[in-house]
A and B are shown apart, each in its own frame.
Chain A
Amino acid sequence: MTDVATHRRTGAPRVGESAPRPDGVAKVQGRFAFSSDLFAENLLWGQTIRSPHAHARIIDIDIREALSLPGVHAVLTADDVPGELHYGLEHQDQPVLAADVVRYFGEPVALVAADHPETARRAAAAVVVSYEPLTPLVDSALAAQADPIHPDGNVLRTLTIRHGDLDATAAVVVEGTYEVGMQDQAFMGPESGMALPSADGGVELFVSTQWLHADRRQVAGCLGLPEDMVRITLAGVGGAFGAREDLSLHVHLCLLSQHTGRPVKMVYRRPESFVGHVHRHPARMWYRHHADTDGTLVKVEARLLLDGGAYASSSLAVIANATCFAAGPYRVPHADIEGTVVRTNNPPCGAMRGFGAVQSCFAHEAQMDKLAAALALDPVELRRRNALATGDTLVTGQVITGAAPVAEVIDACASHPLPDLAAVDEQPMMHRPGGAGRTADAHHVRRATGFALGFKNLLFSEGFDDYSSAVCRLENGAVTITCACAEVGQGFVTLAQQIAREELGIDEIVLAPAETATVGSAGSTSASRQSWMSGGAVQAACRAVRGRVLQQVARRRGVALDGLVLRDGIIESLDGSVRVDLADAVDGPIEETAEYHHRPTQPLDENGQGDAHVSFAFAAHRAVVDVDPELGLVRVHDMTTAQDVGRVLNPLQAIGQIEGGTAQGVGLAVMEELIVEDGIIKNRSFTDYLIPTTLDMPTVRIAALIEEPEPDAPFGAKGIGEPPTISSTPAIVAALRAATGLELTRVPVRPQDIALPRS
């Protein structure tokens, strides 16, 4: 590689190096414009009127008083929606504004635009909505039999996997039921955006989102406009984690702007944000594992029930993931698994990091530990004996053709030295369970470790035509990349530059704004897919530009095209007659657009069989915890992890994703739950919905990033954002079980689950 290095001019970081974020300087200076920072002359402020009921009939909406207030420019209801009345990511079932019935607490009913945010809030309070409260359907177990709360019915999807011999059994059988509570993505920047009327009668929307073109399709439909009259630009995004995949205020802003002919801005406050986006599905799961006496898994039976809340969102795909990965990353020859997601009057649930795999991983890993105990086998050894590998068949009948270094992941994580922790009575009080509460008595504290393994699919599944688009433009020696990939913090902007530098050998790579008018869809920033999909599109666009440059040089210099090579920005002919800098090789601009598709997948058949997924990523965590069983207090000290990453494109960013993803798994294990009573979210603030702080966060030690290149993926790199959130939670709960001897079948584990367990 020495000769390549000698061609480098400034050494700007390429693929595989820890390039700094191109938006990093602006972000540390406070100059980066988030969607909440937008401003326009003549600006109005929007406010949403929301349902105080989980289920009610709307009798009347009286807007007269609100409209009469000075400074109020519009009060809109469902009657003012000019286009389609419903929107939805996969299934168009959610009203832009509720018309006759509200189906969840916080459902939007009316909108206000006023010249000041306070005026808008006062006007919102002056809108009189008369409701006839209805009994909310809040128990997911009753939903299938209950009267439908929506014309489309209460069962959103049932997926059945029947694989192998359904009557198979084995010497050792363990059974359990498990529950996962409702987690919130809790991004730091609440929903916000601004819409402006455009000269052609259309609308321009600046918004924080995960998928610009899916937003445009839904917004245009609801506005009754052709898509090319709706132009959406990504505004600075304060985190996403799935919560911005669905529309929130998008259509509302555009309606108000279209109606008033003025720019309209909306910013949710935190309590509104908690009802303004979907959450992670709560789950109830029953499992039965059958294994031979040597620990070989024979059959997994499972029944999964996810609560989708009032509207479909991405529930249909979430239940597919929960069901497809219900058996875990293990060889399971026989499987009888059924997953159902239902509609209730609880808050709508949809995408959150880990997307269905989080829920079933908590259950299958608890089962693996239970099985290990029944077999008197080491839990890690049980996992090793059953670990999937390339060439193995999943319970969906799909053969894994890509990289599956599961045994390597297990071994790297399990063999990593334990952390060097002080004995409990030698630790500062703050390090003990309960921390600042200073309540845990060192003599009561028990320390234990737990291990868990998880996996999920990368990219979209089940036959979805998933693609991304990018434009590469070379002009005067400078390269501009245009891609509608939503940068939400994950660092795609860094990778896009690294990839373009790698392909073209030009250090200066400019990234154009992500928007709908200049480039095709990049797909969603979700499913750990953008490094692969939009990375692939950027790579393909750059290669197309490179091809045209080489053609031009070959033609002009009269040399054979196949005799030219481009390496690190220099075009050379094999015979040495040509040596020209790429930046100087062409006159006019060269622009190429590429659309990157992954290999097609298939829908699942009636038995849940089919090649439904493109690729899989695996991760393991080992947790070390201290517990005070009498007080139910927990301190998670250390999370050691190993992950299958294909190839590391940017080590600093990869580790950042793993640390951040693990933090969200820590939150689900012992802290985070939206408390929903009769459909009402009780803890709509960061005072009551607790996410990990600097002091809650354990050390995260990366035992290994396993780099077995994924054959299909650009640079062999797998997505890395989600796996850390999947196996972290069950590892912590395994450690808590080991410390307490309790079953702990529900996350988050609350103090009372430990101190006052139900017998």
Chain B
Amino acid sequence: MQVNIEVNGTSQSHDVEPRTLLVHYLREECDLTGTNIGCDSSSCGACTVHLNGEAVKSCTVFAVQADGQQVTTIEGLAPSDEQLHPMQQAFHECHALQCGYCTPGMVMAAVSLLDEVPDPTEREVRVGLEGNLCRCTGYHNIVKAVLEAAGGAR
């Protein structure tokens, strides 16, 4: 099936198998490997991207479901490679990552969370990120980073 998807602001057109998952489409057709696959069972959130501005786990969305819509991946979050999105900046400064495998998904989920709840409490951050697993950090620096990014945006 032909799909036309606006990925990170650029219109893309590909012929995909209907069963292709959005995450595989992004990684293999668009060469956007920043979005990682951690679990294959929609448990870990490593593959979180934005579909029309809202966080989705891209392993639970078919590429064809994104036809005619906008997808933003971690690579499209900041205006350029030289610039970091405030959430990326906060993750880097707060040491909110170690291996970094969960980071793209975690950052995308956190940005989406702040869109919905611009000034969250620590608890709201934790509830908002419950679907994203991290094995390295114990989450505290991740929560700090999100609160920091929210504070910076205020």
In this assembly, does A23 line the interface, its C-beta being within 8 Å of a C-beta of chain B? yes
Query: CA–CA, A428 to B44, complex, Å?
Result: 25
Which residues from 179 to 194 on chain A have a C-beta closer than 8 Å to any C-beta of chain B?
Answer: 185-190
B44 touches A686 (CB 8 A): yes
Count of A-B residue pairs with CB < 8 Å: 177
A-side contacts of B141, CB under 8 Å = 656, 659
A contact residues around B74 at 8 Å (CB): 28-30
- A685 touching B34, Cβ below 8 Å: no
User: Taking the complex as formed, is A32 at the interface, i.e. its CB lies under 8 A from any CB of chain B?
Assistant: yes
User: Is B84 among interface residues, defined by CB-CB distance under 8 A?
Assistant: yes
B100 within 8 A of A: yes
A36 lies within 8 A of B44 (CB): no
Q: Which residues of B contact A685 (CB under 8 A)?
A: 39-41, 43
Q: Is B97 an interface residue (CB 8 A)?
A: yes
Contacts known (A21-B92, A270-B40); A27 close to B100, Cβ less than 8 A: yes
Interface string of B22-33 (1 = CB under 8 A from A): 000001000011
CB B40 to nearest CB in A, in angstroms, measures: 5
Q: B42: nearest residue on chain A (CB-CB)?
A: A687
Interface: A697 (CB within 8 A): yes
Of A187, A491, A653, A693, most buried by chain B (CB within 10 Å of CB) is: A693
Q: Is the CB of A188 within 8 A of B92?
A: no
A659-B140, A694-B143 known; A24-B33 Cβ under 8 A: no
Assess whether B103 is interfacial by the CB under 8 Å rule: yes
Q: Does the CB pair A686–B39 fall under 8 Å?
A: yes
* Interface presence of A488 (CB below 8 A): yes
Given contacts A24-B97, A28-B107, contact A660 B137 (CB under 8 A): yes
- Which DSSP category, helix, strand, loop or mixed, fits chain B's interface? loop
Question: 1/0 contact trace for B7-35 toward A, CB 8 Å?
Answer: 00000000000000000000100001111
* CA of A692 to CA of B140, assembled, Å: 12
Interface residues on B, range: 35 or more
- Which residue of A has the minimal Cβ distance to B78? A29
Measured in the bound complex, the distance between the Cα atoms of B84 and A691 in whole Å is 30
List, in ascending order, chain B residues with CB within 8 A of A190's CB: 37-38
Q: How many angstroms between the C-alpha atoms of A271 and B130 in the bound complex?
A: 22
* Contact A239/B95 with A270-B41, A694-B129 known, Cβ cut-off 8 Å: no
Residue among A24, A187, A270, A694 having the largest count of chain B Cβ atoms under 10 Å: A694
Q: Min CB distance, A680 to chain B, in Å?
A: 18
Bound CA span A271–B38, Å:
11
B64 at the interface (CB under 8 A from A): no
Q: Contact at B40–A660, with CB atoms within 8 Å?
A: no
Q: Please tell me if the beta carbons of A271 and B40 are within 8 angstroms of each other in the complex.
A: yes
Question: Does A186 contact B135, Cβ atoms closer than 8 Å?
Answer: yes
Partner of B98 from the list A37, A236, A271, A656 (CB cut-off 8 Å) is A656
Listed residue (A488, A656, A695) with the most chain B CB atoms within 10 angstroms of its CB:
A656
Bound complex: CA of A695 vs CA of B139, how far in Å? 9
Within 8 A of B (CB), among A515-550: none
A239 — which chain B residues lie within 8 A by C-beta? Answer: 98-99, 101, 135-136
Given A239-B135, A694-B139, A687–B98 Cβ distance below 8 Å? no
Q: How far is the CA of A580 from the CA of B78 in the complex (A)?
A: 42
Contacts A20-B93, A187-B135, A694-B126 given: A31-B34 contact, CB under 8 Å? yes
- Write the nearest CB–CB distance from A243 to chain B, whole angstroms: 10
Whether, in the assembled complex, B58 has its beta carbon less than 8 Å from a beta carbon of chain A, the answer is: no
Chain B proximity of A4: nearest CB distance (Å)? 26
Residues of B within 8 A of A238 (CB): 36, 38, 99-101
Out of B34, B100, B142, B143, name the residue touching A489 (CB < 8 Å): B100
Evaluate contact between B84 and A27: CB separation under 8 angstroms.
Answer: no
Contact with B along A1-35 (1 / 0, CB 8 A): 00000000000000000101101110111111110
Q: Which residues of A contact B143 (CB under 8 A)?
A: 694
Provide the A684-719 mask, 1 if CB < 8 A to any CB of B, else 0: 011100011111010110000000000000000000
**Knowing A29-B75, A686-B43 touch, does A695 contact B127 (C-beta < 8 A)?**
yes
Q: Mark A234-258, 1 if CB is under 8 A from B, else 0.
A: 0011111100000000000000000
Which residues of A from 490 to 530 have beta carbons under 8 Å from B? Answer: 490-491
Distance, CA A488 to CA B98, complexed state (A): 8
| Contact yes or no, B130 A693, CB < 8 A | yes
* B112 CB to nearest chain A CB (Å): 15
Q: In the assembly, what is the distance between CA of A28 and CA of B137, in Å?
A: 15
- B73–A270 CB distance below 8 A: no
Alpha-carbon separation in the docked complex, A39 to B130 (Å): 32
A561 on the interface (CB 8 Å rule)? no
Instruction: Assess A693 versus B133: contact at CB under 8 Å? Given A36-B37, A428-B123.
Output: yes
1/0 per residue, CB under 8 A from A, across B102-120: the answer is: 1110010000000000000
A29 in contact with B134 (CB, 8 Å) = no
Across the interface, which residues of A come within 8 angstroms of B97, CB to CB?
A: 21, 24, 27-28, 489
Contact of B36 among A36, A488, A661, A662 (CB under 8 A): A36
- Say whether B135 contacts A241, CB under 8 Å: yes
Residues of B within 8 Å of A656, CB to CB, are 95, 98, 136-138, 141
B36-A28 in contact (CB<8A):
no
- Which one, B46, B84, B123, B132, contacts A28 given CB within 8 A? B84
Complex A-B: 9 CB contacts under 8 Å = A20-B92, A187-B135, A239-B101, A240-B99, A660-B138, A686-B44, A687-B41, A694-B132, A694-B143
Measuring CB to CB, which residues of chain B are less than 8 angstroms from any residue of chain A?
27, 32-41, 43-44, 46, 73-75, 78, 81, 84, 88-89, 91-93, 95, 97-104, 107, 123, 125-127, 129-143
Shortest 10 CB-CB contacts between residues of A and residues of B: A30-B34, A489-B99, A27-B100, A238-B101, A30-B74, A659-B138, A686-B43, A489-B98, A663-B138, A37-B33
Q: Spell out A's residues near B (CB within 8 Å).
A: 18, 20-21, 23-25, 27-34, 36-37, 185-190, 236-241, 267, 269-271, 428, 430, 488-491, 652-653, 656, 659-664, 685-687, 691-695, 697, 699-700
Since A36-B37, A187-B99, A660-B136 are in contact, a sample of 7 more A-B pairs with Cβ atoms closer than 8 Å, ordered by chain A residue number, is A28-B107, A428-B123, A491-B98, A693-B131, A694-B125, A694-B127, A694-B142
